[in-house]
């Protein structure tokens, strides 16, 4: 049974965000939990379900609707199928997979650079709190497709290029300013 658990199908980022929102003092612990049993236990301690983060629906709208019809999943009201607006930009603008090159580079950057900065953990947690709101605002707009495309071309690609060229501080500052401008535009704090 333990061999059935596929780590690639577990949405660790969404789980961390929900753990944080549920009062977990160290939500990053989810990344260190390697077994299905361990994840169920950790999530259960905060009233969360493993199934809400495992084998997630595709993030594009057509796929999400199809998945919901097939699985008839209850709406937990947590918004856990939304989250990282960077992921949403890649998936919605370009129909890229969740493990595409851009997202792999950005996640590695987050884990190896941003989190190591003074205040990096706090900033990462802030992002996980505000990113789902950003996603909801963009998805509910009349021009969602063009907004996702803009985020992809104005933020994702330049940050990936900066990171690839070793300009980590520039990538970080670009990303940080962009997030803050979106939060301000949507009245998110």
What pLDDT, in 10s, does the model give residues 156-177? 999 999 999 999 999 999 999 9
- 47 in the Ramachandran plot: left (φ > 0), alpha (ψ -120 to 50) or beta? left
At 3 the pLDDT is 53
At 161 the pLDDT is 95
Among 48, 79, 110, which residue terminates a domain?
A: 79
Q: What is the DSSP letter of 57?
A: P
Stretch 116-126: mean pLDDT, rounded?
A: 84
* 119, 147: one domain: yes
Contact of 39 with 50, CB cutoff 8 Å: yes
* 188, 103: one domain: yes
pLDDT range class, residue 80, cuts 50, 70, 90 = very low
pLDDT range class, residue 60, cuts 50, 70, 90 = very low
What domain count does the chain have? Answer: 2
Among 79, 109, 131, which residue terminates a domain?
A: 79
* 104, 57: one domain: no
Specify which residues 10 forms β-bridges with: 54
CB atoms within 10 A of CB 166: 9
* 68, 126: one domain: no
Domain that holds residue 17: 1-79
* Stretch among 26-40, 71-85, 100-114 having the lowest mean pLDDT: 71-85
Rounded to whole angstroms, how far apart are CA atoms 72 and 54? 15
Whether this prediction's pTM lies above 0.75 is answered by: no
Among 46, 61, 79, which residue terminates a domain?
A: 79
Letter string b/e over residues 43-73, b meaning 16 or more CB atoms within 10 A of that residue's CB: beeeebebebbbebebbeeeeeeeeeeeeee
* 147, 159: one domain: yes
* 72, 91: one domain: no
Q: Is the pLDDT of residue 45 over 80?
A: yes
From residue 41, how far is each of 23, 58, 122, 157 by CA, in Å?
A: 15, 25, 25, 38
* 127, 179: one domain: yes
* 145, 119: one domain: yes
* 99, 179: one domain: yes
Rg (CA), the chain: 16
CB atoms within 10 A of CB 170: 15
């Amino acid at each position: 049974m333990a061999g059935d658990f596929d780590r690639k199908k577990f949405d660790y980022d969404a789980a961390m965000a929900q753990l944080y929102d549920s009062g977990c003092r160290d939500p990053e612990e989810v990344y260190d939990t390697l077994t299905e049993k361990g994840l169920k236990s950790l999530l259960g301690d905060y009233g969360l379900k493993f199934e809400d983060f495992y084998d997630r629906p595709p993030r594009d709208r057509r796929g999400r609707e199809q998945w919901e019809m097939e699985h008839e999943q209850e709406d937990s009201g947590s918004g856990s199928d939304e989250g990282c607006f960077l992921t949403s930009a890649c998936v919605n603008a370009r129909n890229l997979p969740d493990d595409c090159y851009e997202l792999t580079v950005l996640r590695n950057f987050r884990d190896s650079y941003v989190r190591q900065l003074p205040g990096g953990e706090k900033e990462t947690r802030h992002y996980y709190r505000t990113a789902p709101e950003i996603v909801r605002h963009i998805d509910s707009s009349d021009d969602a497709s063009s907004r996702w495309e803009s985020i992809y071309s104005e933020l994702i690609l330049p940050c990936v290029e900066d990171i690839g060229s070793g300009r980590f501080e520039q990538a970080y500052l670009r990303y940080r300013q962009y997030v803050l401008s979106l939060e301000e535009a949507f009245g998110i704090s």
